[in-house]
Amino acid sequence: MSTAPPIDKLLSAKPATPKHPQIGAPLTTRPLAVLGGPPLFNQPLHVGRPNLGDRDQFDALVDRMFENRWLTNNGPIVQEFEGELEKLTGAKHCVALANGTLALELMIRELDLTGEVIVPSFTFVATVHALRLNGITPVFCDADPETHNLDPHHAAQLITPRTSGILGVHLWGRPCNVDALQEIADAHGLALLFDAAHAFGCTYKGRPVGTLGDAEAFSFHATKFVNSFEGGAVATNDDDLAARIRQGANFGYSPSDEVEALGTNAKMSEVCAAMGLTSLSSMQDIVETNRRHYRTYGALLSPLHGLHLIEYDETEARNYQYIVVEVGPDAPLTRDELLAVLRAENVLARRYFHPGCHRMEPYRTEQPNAGRALPGTERLASQLLALPTGTAVDDQDIANVCDIIHQAYDAAPLIRAALEKPVLTDR
């Protein structure tokens, strides 16, 4: 029985316009924590707190797992999960794996990439590590200032005789300019692959993510909107590539039980697949919650100058997994000052993706001058802030977070002065 809603259903869903909570009245008499008041939230309000599906469905799947006495090694629940992924993405093959990083590493290795691969610096470091662990030199490409994704114009300038591929990242669930990158890849005989960790359930010009380029890697980590505790997958329409990835994930064993290639252990377990199926059943509800939160944040933060909420194209399927604001130079507080305000209130906002992979080890040592060619990346890394969303957050939580930001704007000079005070320590 299918549990995953088809892309067209997600795309055509018309959620009710949210009733935005009122901000201001409950909090305006309360001093901000950064100025000496108590934190508004007693418990931390996280970015990426797990979405939990129906517990009864999960328990039933786990009972099935125990009845089967099949805990791993391509069990029936993993196979069912893969089938649902293929239905949802439209990809011919979705190979479920232990995590998204192994999905990247296997995809890169089984595409026989060598030498150099063009990759954004503005991404989670696992994207770049997956190349480096395969003996490939990452060539950092700048981010497009509007989309935050790999800049195709800059990518074209970075191609050398050693370039074997382009690895794009669909940040925030907003796909790369796939057509432009495919044109570049085809012109130079390069592989085109994508880190789609943010983009499960999304579309590019109506095409589901999972069918783009030569292959795409998904993550189903606990912080993703659809999760399998830990997990990932490679989606591709290439029969031979899918077979090689499946073999590489199982120590190099062939279907005839002979070791015929170099491999590792990247198999997904049955219990993780059970959580994945449970998440897929709740996927549409999670997307609707995320979309409502996105619209609520947009309405409440829109009056603030210098603060821009990233926009989602609602004519395409989007998972609305991330609420990201860009704190511009005309805002009364910098991104890091606003972060300090929120963290003092127990709102654990995140600086995605600070400071850029080119400023992390080993890359900052190996490529110390990389930042000179990455002005867009440097700017985004200093200005973007991710705010809490998901099913663990309610409308009142969002109203309170937005009210904190409004108050911070009003008290910007006091906050800046407080943050500049030296910290006294016992001697």
Domain ranges of the chain: 55-280, 282-420
Reply yes or no on whether the pLDDT at 425 is more than 80.
no
Is residue 2 scored above 70 in pLDDT?
Answer: no
Confidence of residue 30 (pLDDT cuts 50, 70, 90): confident
What is the spatial distance between Cα 214 and Cα 219, in angstroms, rounded to a whole number?
17
Averaged pLDDT for residues 249-266: 95
Which of 256, 276, 252, 275 minimizes the C-alpha distance to 265?
A: 252
For the cut 70, the answer to whether the pLDDT of residue 23 exceeds it is no
pLDDT at 416: 95
% the chain with pLDDT above 70? 92
The highest-level CATH class for domain 55-280 is alpha beta
Please work out, in degrees rounded to the nearest 5, the angle formed at the alpha carbon of residue 203 by the alpha carbons of 45 and 101: 60
User: Is pLDDT at 248 greater than 90 in this prediction?
Assistant: yes
- The strands making up 232-236's β-sheet, listed across from edge to edge, are 93-97, 232-236, 215-219, 191-195, 163-169, 116-120, 137-141
Q: H or E stretch including 308?
A: strand 307-309
| Burial class of 420 by CB neighbour count within 10 A (0 to 12, 13 to 18, 19+) | exposed
377-386 b/e (C-beta count within 10 Å ≥ 16 → b) = bbbbbbbbbb
Please check whether residue 174 is in contact with residue 316, taking contact to mean a CB–CB distance below 8 angstroms. no
Residue 21: other Cβ atoms inside 10 A: 18
Q: What is the mean pLDDT of the chain?
A: 93
CA distance 259 to 326: 50
Structure tokens at 260: 């015929």
Q: What is the dihedral of CA 406, 407, 412, 418, to 10 degrees?
A: -140
User: Following DSSP, what letter does each residue of 276-300 receive, concatenated?
Assistant: HHHHHHTHHHHHHHHHHHHHHHHHH
Q: CATH top-level class for 282-420? A: alpha beta
Helices (H), 208-248: 239-248
pLDDT at 422: 60
Q: How far apart are CA 160 and CA 143, in angstroms?
A: 19
Among 23-32, 246-255, 350-359, name the one with the lowest average pLDDT.
Answer: 23-32
Angle made by CA atoms 185, 189, 194, in degrees to the nearest 5: 40
Radius of gyration of the chain (CA): 22
pLDDT tens digit sequence for 298-344: 999 999 999 999 999 999 999 999 999 999 999 999 999 999 999 99
| Residue 369 DSSP label | T
pLDDT in tens, 78-129: 999 999 999 999 999 999 999 999 999 999 999 999 999 999 999 999 999 9
Dihedral in degrees, nearest 10, Cα atoms 376, 377, 379, 383: 130
User: What's the pTM value of the predicted model, to 2 decimals?
Assistant: 0.92
Q: Which residues contact 76 (CB under 8 A, 6 or more apart)?
A: 68, 70, 270
String of DSSP letters for 313-361: -TTS------EEEEE-TTSSS-HHHHHHHHHHTTEE-B-TTTT-GGGST
- Residue 78, both tokens: 């993993």
